[in-house]
Chains A and B, each alone.
Chain A
């Protein structure tokens, strides 16, 4: 198999739009771009090769079925795919649906009305974040990665790294503050 082309995220959006219209070529392109990443994510979380393949397949099939519901204003394509892979993995582990809020729930407390200047294209946010993540101090990046890509809560990370729980929390918080500040600077 040839090395997958790493695409800037915004370039993936038209692919998802084509997939929503039933375009199988677009699906193959998105598969080549993202299935290896999804599989890498699952392997990193400790799945064996068989389970990783299975959940990767389920993730890609979910993308095919739900492409029409993808909203570029809410999440970049990588983020959307990350949430699908995360949820498929949880489904498989627990055989239960991941609890999530429903945007159509009448009991939902609605978002405050935002000014047009605050609205920010999600794909762009994704790009900015990716750049900002690369600039994080190594230690912060490592803890953030542990939080996202190991099946470990903050407490388990503290046990594993032998760092006090408070230190893990404050370093991860520091990393998030940094990322948030970068986004604010860039969007201002």
Chain B
């Protein structure tokens, strides 16, 4: 199944250029694993990067840099690549597995029908896995930056439509929304918020204590 809700050009350009914060780059890489269309787009954008590199004004390094490199060519590589780890049931593509604990997932309950796992993506925007119980609405909320939600399993819907595996919902700054998990089974998604998130409404104010992005 090919996703229907994609990432926009500007996000893919920033990914290809290498300027996205790590959490957002993780979400893009995960979408790319699930979306041949956006993979093709990034391949083209990287060709643009390559063409621009080829057009760069050369800044010749000092002569010794080549000699230094040549001296290092036969040095054995000290950093071994981690062996690839793949998900047995295929829910989590590789870019996610690389930041998930190897010894199983521990979901932290945040509210009724909502559990999360915070991912280690360094400083900057936060990436989380969310598990929303089947048929459960997410707390109504708004945010100061962009919010990306990528479906990994199950589905959810909001005012714009239904999102399934691989689809990305992007909520812009200040937009208030309330996605609802599909009734068929629990919905697992990857959520990234660039900026702070706040919950709205009376229930939201209480839930703010639990869902801290």
Q: Which residues of A contact B (CB under 8 A)?
A: 1, 3-4, 6, 9, 24, 27-28, 31-32, 35-41, 43-44, 52-53, 56-57, 60-61, 64-65, 74-83, 85-87, 89-90, 94, 96-102, 104-112, 122, 125-126, 129-130, 133-134, 144-145, 147-154, 156, 168-169, 172-173, 176, 179-180, 183
Is B52 touching A39 in the complex (CB atoms < 8 A)?
no
Q: B11-69: which residues lie under 8 A (CB-CB) from chain A?
A: 13-14, 16-20, 22, 25-26, 28-30, 32-36, 39-40, 43-63, 65-66, 68-69
A99 touches which one: B17, B73, B84, B95 (CB < 8 A)? B95
B87 contacts the other chain (CB 8 A): yes
B10 contacts the other chain (CB 8 A): yes
Q: A3-B58, A98-B18 are in contact. List 16 more A-B contacts (CB 8 A).
A: A28-B70, A53-B65, A75-B47, A79-B47, A83-B49, A94-B22, A94-B122, A99-B98, A101-B32, A107-B94, A108-B33, A133-B55, A147-B19, A148-B17, A148-B48, A172-B9
Is A61 touching B69 in the complex (CB atoms < 8 A)?
yes
Please encode chain B, from 77 to 93, with 1 for each CB lying within 8 Å of some chain A CB and 0 for all others: 10000001011001111
A111 to B122, CA, bound (A): 31
Whole-angstrom distance from the CB of B104 to the nearest CB of chain A? Answer: 18
A6 to B57, CA, bound (A): 11
B105 contacts the other chain (CB 8 A): no
Top 6 A-B residue pairs of the complex, sorted by shortest distance between their CB atoms: A79-B50, A36-B58, A78-B50, A99-B29, A102-B94, A101-B33
| Given known A78-B54, A104-B84, contact A179–B65 (CB-CB < 8 A) | no
Is B14 touching A60 in the complex (CB atoms < 8 A)?
no
Is A169 touching B73 in the complex (CB atoms < 8 A)?
no
Among residues of B, the one whose C-beta sits closest to the C-beta of A56 is: B61
Is A112 touching B36 in the complex (CB atoms < 8 A)?
yes
A32 to B95, CA, bound (A): 34
Is A154 touching B18 in the complex (CB atoms < 8 A)?
no
B183 contacts the other chain (CB 8 A): no
Residues of A within 8 A of B58 (CB): 3-4, 36-37, 39-40
Is A36 touching B95 in the complex (CB atoms < 8 A)?
no
A35 to B16, CA, bound (A): 20
B92 touches which one: A52, A57, A107, A109 (CB < 8 A)? A107
Is A96 touching B90 in the complex (CB atoms < 8 A)?
no
| Given known A61-B73, A74-B43, contact A41–B63 (CB-CB < 8 A) | no
Is A75 touching B46 in the complex (CB atoms < 8 A)?
yes
Cross-chain pairs A/B with CB under 8 angstroms, 20 sampled:
A6-B54, A32-B66, A38-B53, A41-B53, A61-B73, A80-B50, A99-B25, A102-B84, A105-B86, A106-B86, A107-B33, A107-B34, A109-B1, A109-B166, A126-B47, A147-B14, A148-B49, A154-B10, A169-B10, A173-B9
**Interface size classification for chain B:** 35 or more
Of the listed residues A76, A78, A82, A150, the one surrounded by the most CB atoms of chain B closer than 10 A to its CB is A82
Among residues of B, the one whose C-beta sits closest to the C-beta of A165 is: B10
A122 to B62, CA, bound (A): 32
Among residues of B, the one whose C-beta sits closest to the C-beta of A109 is: B34
A130 to B48, CA, bound (A): 8
Whole-angstrom distance from the CB of B143 to the nearest CB of chain A? Answer: 14
Is A61 touching B72 in the complex (CB atoms < 8 A)?
yes
Among residues of A, the one whose C-beta sits closest to the C-beta of B40 is: A111
Whole-angstrom distance from the CB of A27 to the nearest CB of chain B? Answer: 7
Is A111 touching B51 in the complex (CB atoms < 8 A)?
no
Residues of A within 8 A of B206 (CB): none
